[in-house]
Amino acid sequence: MSRAHQQRSAHRDRRPHWHRPLAGVAALAAAMAGLSGLGAPAATAAIAGVSARAATAAAPVLVSTGKPTTASSIEASGFDAAKAVDANASTRWASAEGVDPQWIRIDLGSAHTISRVKLNWEAAYGKTYKIQTSNDGTNWTDVYSTSAGNGATDDLTVTGTGRYVRMHGTARGTAYGYSLWEFEVYGSPVSGGSDTTAPTAPGSLRATATTSNSVSLAWNAATDNVGVTGYDVYRGATRVGTAAGTSYTDTGLTASTGYGYTVKARDAAGNTSAASNALSVTTQPASGSGPAVPFGSHTRPYTAGTLKPTGAQGTLDQKTIDYYTHWKSAFVRQNCGNGWYQVISPDADHPYVAEAQGYGMVIAATMAGADPDAKKIFDGLTKWTIDHPSSVNPDLLAAEQDTACRSVNGGDGATDGDMDVAYGLLLADKQWGSAGTYNYKALAIKHINAIKKDELNPSTNLLKLGDWSSSGDQYYYITRTSDWMVDHFRAFRTATGDSAWDTVRTAHQNQITNLQASYAPNTGLLPDFVVNTNSTPKPAPGQVLEDPNDGAYWWNACRTPWRIADDAVTSGDAKSLAAARKVNTWIKAKTGGDPNKIAIGYKLDGTQISAGSEAAYFAPFALAAMTDPGSQAWLDALWNKMLAAPIDTSSYFSASIQLQVMITASGNHWVP
C-alpha cells in the first residue's frame, strides 16, 4: 500500500512531552519563579507586563495563503505544493520519498519584509533545513537554519526581505520525504524601495509552433539592474499567463483564428518593462495535422531540479535536430514498396529488426514539428508493423525481416520492439489524433494488451524475452533489463486504465533496487539478463541467450541508465531517481569525470570488459547525470562528447540510442 494512502493522523506529533510549551501565564510564571528566584506573584506580574506590551505591537500579517507555490517534487497526485498554502490543515504538500535535498517555494508576488515563518509538519519532517528568501527566485539568502528539527510545528521568528520564501531541506527526519500541512509566511509588502528601474523589453517575440488550439511562444531574455523575476504574456490587452523563463504556450484557442501577443518583463520590486514587439499568429485549421507537442515546444516540463546541458535552449534543440537529420539520412528507408518505411539495421543479424522499428516510431512521433515528414514516416512504419505480424500473436510485430522484407526466423515477436511500438503509437495519438488513416489509439491498446497476454510472465509480473517463450521452457523465468521501460508502463496504465500496469511497474522497479543492492552495491550497474525470476532473481551465471557476458553490463544493459532516467526526469519517482543517481555516482568517479574513459562493458563490480568508445555506452550516462544536482560539469562533458562524436552510419544501435538520449537531454522527451 502506498504511504500516501496510509492513515497517519496518530503520528502527527512525535515530540517528547518535555519539548511541549507550558500552557498559560500561570505555568510560565511558575517556570520563571523556579529559574529566577522570583516569587510566583512577582513572576506573574512580570509576564503580565510583557503580555500587555506585546498586545500593543502590530501583529504580523499572514501573506502566503493562496500564493503561487512550487516544489522540487511531489509524492503523488493530490500532494502538490499549493496544498501547503491553502489554509486547510487537512491537506498537505509531500515530496518524493527517500530523496534529499527537497524544497518548497512561495512566490509572494512582490518584495516583502518577512518577520515570521510557521511550518506545520506532517509525519515526514525536516531534520536539517533552512528558511531562505530571494528577490529573483535564483539567488537565496538564509534567514534561519537548523540541524535539529524534530517535527510538529516550528514557529520561527526571522528577519529578511524578498519576493520568494522557501523551505530548503537537506536531511529528512524519517525514511519518507518532507511534508507540510501548512507553510505560513508573515510580513508586509515593501513600501517604496530604492529599485525604481524597470527591466528592458523582451526581444524577438516569435512563435515556435502552432496547432489548431495553441500557440507556442519564445522571446529573448530581458535585463534588469537587479534581476528579472518573470514575464507576463498578453493576448491583446489581456494577460493570459506568466513565465519564469523565455517561453510559453497559450492553449484553449480557436482554429483558423488570428491572435496578437506581447510580453513584458518584471523585477522583484514590481517594476514592469515596456512591451516586446507585437506578434500576430494564426492557429491552424481544425482539420490540420499539426502536432500537439511539437519538438522544441517544451510544454511538458521535467521534475524540478533536473539538470540540462549548459547552453541556450534553442541551441540544445538545434543540435538534436542536426543529429536527427543525419540519423534519418543514414537509417530511414522506403524499401520493398507497399507504402512502407523502415529503419535499417546494418549491425544486426537481419536488415530489419523490431527494435529498430520501435525506435523509429518513437523518434518520428517525438520529432514532429521539427520534421515536416514526421507523420508520413510514422504512418509508413505503422503500416510495416501491421503488415508484419508476429506468428504467435498477430497484434505484435514479427522481430526480423530479410532483404525482401519478409519475416524470418520463426516470425515471432521480441518484447523490446513491441514495447516501443506501443509507446510510439500512444505518442502519435497525442500528436495527431486517431481520426486519420490509422487509429493510433486503438492500435496501441491492441498492442499493449497483446504484450500483457504473451510477453509478460503472469506469475512474476516481469517481462519475458518475447511472445515465443511459454510456461515450461527454459527461458520462461528469464528477463532482459533493457526491456524495463518504466515510463512506458506508466503510459500503458494511462491509456488502458488497467491497474495491472501499476503492478508491473512496481515489480520492475523493485527488481532494479534489489539487483543494485545485492549484486552491484558499489556501481548500480544492471546485468543484460536476469534468471530465476520465479524464486531468487539474479544476474545470468553465463550465456543464457546471447553471450558469455549475459550476466554483465553489456550490449543490452548499456541502455538501462537511459531507460531508468527517462522515468526519473519525467515522473520524479524516488526509486527511479535513486537508481539513476547510484550509477551516475559510480561512473563519474570511475572515469574521474572524463567521458573518454567510459569503456565498452563492465562486470557488475565495475571491472572493465573491453576498451574503446561507443555511443551506446557513453551516451546513456548523460541522462543519469541529469538527476544529480552536483553533476552539471559531468553532464556538460558527456553532452560535448556526444556532439563531437560523428554518427556511426554502420550502427543503427549506437546512433539510435544517442539520438534518443539527446532528445531527453535537450528537454524534449515526454510521456503520453
Which three-class secondary structure string do you get for 33-84? HHHHCCCHHHHHHHHHHHHHHHHHCCCCEECCCCCCEEECCCCCCCCCHHHH
The per-residue pLDDT for 59 is: 60
The per-residue pLDDT for 130 is: 97
For residue 444, what is the enclosing H or E element?
A: helix 440-454
CB 109 within 8 A of CB 272: no
From 97, 416, 467, 614, active-site residue: 416
DSSP 165: E
Tens of pLDDT, residue by residue over 81-108, are: 999 999 998 999 999 999 999 999 999 9
As a whole number of angstroms, the distance between CA 653 and CA 128 comes to 46
Binning pLDDT at 50, 70 and 90, where does residue 287 land?
low
Question: Is the pLDDT score of 24 beyond 90?
Answer: no
Tens of pLDDT, residue by residue over 48-60, are: 444 434 333 446 7
Higher pLDDT, 206 or 548: 548
For residue 31, what is the enclosing H or E element?
A: helix 24-36
From 107, 184, 267, 355, active-site residue: 355
Mean pLDDT to the nearest integer, 469-475 = 95
| Secondary structure (3-state) at 439 | coil
The per-residue pLDDT for 191 is: 67
Q: Which residue has the cell 515530496?
A: 95
Non-local (6+) Cβ contacts of 122 within 8 A are 8, 12, 92, 94, 179, 180, 181
225, 464, 650 from 505: Cα distances, Å: 49, 14, 34
- Output phi, psi for 663, to 5 deg: -60, -45
Non-local (6+) Cβ contacts of 476 within 8 A are 457, 464, 469, 470
Non-local (6+) Cβ contacts of 524 within 8 A are 516, 579, 582, 583, 584, 585, 586
The per-residue pLDDT for 194 is: 62
As a whole number of angstroms, the distance between CA 154 and CA 162 comes to 21
Helices (H) and strands (E) in the chain, counts: 15, 26
Q: Is 546 designated active site?
A: no
Which of 36-50, 81-95, 249-263, 605-619 comes out lowest in average pLDDT? 36-50
Q: With b meaning 16 or more CB within 10 Å and e meaning fewer, what string describes 448-481?
A: bbbbbebbbbeebbbbbbbbbbeeeeebbbbbbb
Q: What does the chain come to in residues?
A: 672
pLDDT > 90 in the chain, percent = 75
Helix axes 374-387, 440-454, angle to 10 degrees: 40
- 381-344-598 Cα angle (round to 5): 115
Mean pLDDT to the nearest integer, 498-504 = 96
Name the grid cell of 345. 539495421
Name the grid cell of 293. 507537442
Non-local (6+) Cβ contacts of 281 within 8 A are 207, 210, 215, 258, 259, 260, 261
| Secondary structure (3-state) at 498 | coil
Name the grid cell of 60. 504580523
Tens of pLDDT, residue by residue over 559-572, are: 999 999 999 999 99
Binning pLDDT at 50, 70 and 90, where does residue 39 land?
very low
645-651 long-range contacts, Cβ below 8 Å, gap at least 24?
645/613, 645/615, 647/323, 647/326, 647/327, 647/330, 648/615, 649/330, 649/331, 649/346, 650/346, 650/347, 651/346, 651/347, 651/615, 651/616
First to last CA, the chain: 26
The per-residue pLDDT for 227 is: 84
Residue 372 CB coordination number (10 Å)? 9
Mean pLDDT of the residues in the chain: 88
Torsion sign, CA atoms 369, 375, 376, 377: positive
The per-residue pLDDT for 336 is: 95
Question: Is the pLDDT score of 603 beyond 60?
Answer: yes
DSSP states of 394-430: TTSBBSEE-TTS-B-TT--B-HHHHHHHHHHHHHHHH
The per-residue pLDDT for 410 is: 92
* Closest alpha carbon to 102 in 138, 136, 129, 68: 129
Q: What is the pTM of this model?
A: 0.62
- Output phi, psi for 262, to 5 deg: -140, 165
Tens of pLDDT, residue by residue over 143-177, are: 999 999 999 999 999 998 888 999 999 999 999 99
CB 171 within 8 A of CB 147: yes
Name the grid cell of 476. 520462461
Which of 189-193, 506-510, 533-537, 566-570 comes out lowest in average pLDDT? 189-193
Name the grid cell of 586. 559510480
Binning pLDDT at 50, 70 and 90, where does residue 209 land?
confident
Q: Is 416 designated active site?
A: yes
The per-residue pLDDT for 53 is: 40
Question: Is the pLDDT score of 183 beyond 90?
Answer: yes
Which of 197-201, 202-206, 288-292, 460-464 comes out lowest in average pLDDT? 288-292
Tens of pLDDT, residue by residue over 528-551, are: 999 999 999 999 999 999 999 999
Instruction: Specify which residues 403 forms β-bridges with.
Output: none
